[in-house]
Structure 1
Amino acid sequence: MKKLLTSSLFLIVFVFSFAQNSSIDFEIKNLGITVDGFFKNYTVITKFDDSDNLIDFSSEIKAKSVETGIDSRDEHLLEEDYFHTLKYPLITLDVAELYKKPNNKYSAKVNLRIKGKVKQFTIQLKVEITENQRKITSNFEINRKDFHVGGGGFIMGKTVKIAVVHVEKI
């Protein structure tokens, strides 16, 4: 279970800051049961143009900030077979290409780095802008095995579902 949670969290590498109402959550199957968690410490940097179009973003997650609700599992996720936080303290996400679509939606080709491994894939984003805040949301999946997180066992699923919400004041 710990391995599944850790894998999910690191994927969330993706993206957002300590702003109020922001979160990076994940879930993974372990022995057929859904295990969930989140990262406590992360930063997200966004850039918007004068017309409030998203033009760039990046994120950095402190891998040791993973939380699953079980302290012993969280500690295990910090070890070499999961996040190996002594050697790889950060999970990062950078945009390679960003395309605006209708209705404030975006398609982003991103580079996710976990445990020194980089994987490029495409995620979808939605931007909602009000008078005093910008909210960016994204839901995507990653394969924990692409990043050598959690070993090769069949007990833990390989798909990690990630949900990111980033809220920043204008």
Structure 2
Amino acid sequence: MKTRLIFICFICLSAFSFAQKSSVDFEIKNVGITVDGYFNTFTINADLDASFELKNLSGKITTSSIKTGIDSRDEHLLEEDYFDVENHKYITLKSTAITKKTNTTYNVKASLTIKGKTKTITIPVAVEKEGDKYKITSSFEINRQNYDVGGGSFVMSKTVKVNVIYYQEF
């Protein structure tokens, strides 16, 4: 009986470790040390046509859902000099043009709004079938100072690396 219970627990844990999970993660260097984190609450909408080509992409992140592993740092990032969540509750992205590069990759020109400032960026996006879902991924960099996040700090990098993984049902 004990062996059976251990086997069942092992199977359950294995299933959870392979679960597909959408995420919006970031990295930035601060005093030469890489600080990473993620946003807990977000929505992504990817419109695919009948031949499964990407036609539209948008996203909305709840800024206050930022997590870096240190609560006091997270609270500081919510303040006016960083994300100013009292006045700017969301980070948004809306595609304005999509160019197909290969069967599974695209260049997406989009309006990115952070802290009330909107800039046009171009990001690479990949769309792959995985079972009964689409896996949509993108890795890109932004300059935090373009959005007035973190001021003119000399010890914090201007470059923020962003990684997005999103699973969407067919």
TM-score range normalised by the length of the shorter chain: 0.7 to 0.9
| Structure with more contact order per residue of length (Cα contacts < 8 Å, sep ≥ 6) | 1
Structure 1 runs of 4+ aligned residues shifted over 6 Å read none
Shift of the alpha carbon at 1:130?
Answer: 3.5
SS in 1 for 2:57: strand
**Which residue of structure 2 aligns with residue 60 of structure 1?**
60
Distance 1:130 1:52 in 2: 13
Distance 1:57 1:66 in 2: 22
Distance 1:102 1:122 in 2: 16
Distance 1:115 1:87 in 2: 8
Distance 2:56 2:115 in 1: 24
Deviations 1:24-72 (A, max 9, x none): 0000000000000000000011111011111101000000000000000
**Which residue of structure 1 aligns with residue 152 of structure 2?**
152
Structure 2 unaligned segments of length 5 or more: list them: 1-18
**Which residue of structure 2 aligns with residue 139 of structure 1?**
139
Distance 1:130 1:160 in 2: 29
Q: How many residues matched?
A: 152
Tell me the TM-score normalized by structure 1.
Answer: 0.87
The 10-residue stretch of structure 1 (101-110 or 35-44) with the greater mean CA deviation from structure 2: 101-110
Structure 1 unaligned segments of length 5 or more: list them: 1-18
Amino acid at match of 2:73: R
Distance 2:96 2:20 in 1: 27
Amino acid at match of 1:70: I
Seq. identity, %: 51
CA RMSD of aligned residues (A): 1.2
SS in 2 for 1:156: coil
**Which residue of structure 1 aligns with residue 115 of structure 2?**
115
Distance 2:158 2:103 in 1: 32
**Which residue of structure 1 aligns with residue 4 of structure 2?**
none
